[in-house]
Amino acid sequence: MDQLAENNTAYMLSVEPVAKTIRVEFGGETIAETSNALRLKEGRYAPVFYIPLEDVDQRYIEKSEKTTMCPFKGMASYWGLKTKKDKAKDIAWGYETPDDTVADLKGHISFYWDQMDAWYADGIKIETHDAEVSSFTTNPLTHWLLSEAWNASSTAELIGMFNKCLVDKGIPITRFRTIIRTLHPQLYARGFTWNKGEEEVTEFNADYEIINTPAYVNSPMDSAMCFR
């Protein structure tokens, strides 16, 4: 019960107004400046500043087609930035219809902290962006699960993205296979195989005849799915 309570606390959200004037610079320009910023605290992650969209210089910002789903805040939209000196794709995000728990974020956007040139509070440069260390920030898969996995449009694509993430994070995996039972009257299961270095995830379907084959009966899978 104590562990469950700790996990629930780690995912708590709070939004509060910022008493100082926040200024953000990118590509040699002041992208946003506001005295109405909000500060989002999410679990033990570093706090995030959200700035009213009306206080962002519209000359440098352009909305993109990218969206992601956060299970705690809702569907996120993204914006890119472009100045005479620099440009970046999907560098800002915001929740146009946020969940009720963070309703105040509506009409606000935030910027990736380390991709901006500088941040200022009341004219003083903010040198560090503090973050508490926890199992959520140290687990390399946490951010991917919460921000990128939702982009997968199919089971095969999700499996491919997941295994690429494992490899990118230093986990030495070369082959991955999963079999998913179905409720279809003719289709017993769907299978997916990922191999390192291959672009596509291989899919295969198995009808009910497979459960009578020696290869299946003599495999660990037979015992694992004995509820058939």
Question: Does residue 91 sit in the same domain as residue 38?
Answer: yes
Q: Are residues 191 and 115 in the same domain?
A: no
Examine residue 45 and state whether it is found in any structural domain, yes or no: yes
User: Where a domain ends, among 109, 135, 161?
Assistant: 135
Residue 164, domain extent: 152-224
- By C-alpha distance, which of 145, 143, 151, 111 is closest to 129? 111
Domain assignment present for residue 144? The answer is no
Same domain, yes or no, for 33 and 122? yes
Tell whether 169 is covered by a domain.
yes
pTM of the model: 0.61
φ, ψ for residue 71 (rounded to 5)? -65, -10
Residue 146 falls inside a structural domain = no
Q: For residues 73 and 40, what is the distance between their CA atoms, to the nearest angstrom?
A: 11
**Strand-pair partners of 176:** 194
**pLDDT tens per residue across all 228 residues of the chain:** 333 334 444 467 899 999 999 999 999 999 999 999 999 988 767 889 999 999 999 999 999 999 988 888 999 999 999 999 999 999 999 999 999 989 999 999 999 998 999 999 999 999 876 544 444 445 667 777 776 787 788 999 999 999 998 888 888 899 999 988 889 888 988 999 999 989 899 999 988 888 888 877 887 765 555 444
- For residues 89 and 157, state if they share a domain: no
**How far apart (Å, rounded) are the C-alpha atoms in residues 201 and 160?**
6
Report how many domains make up the chain: 2
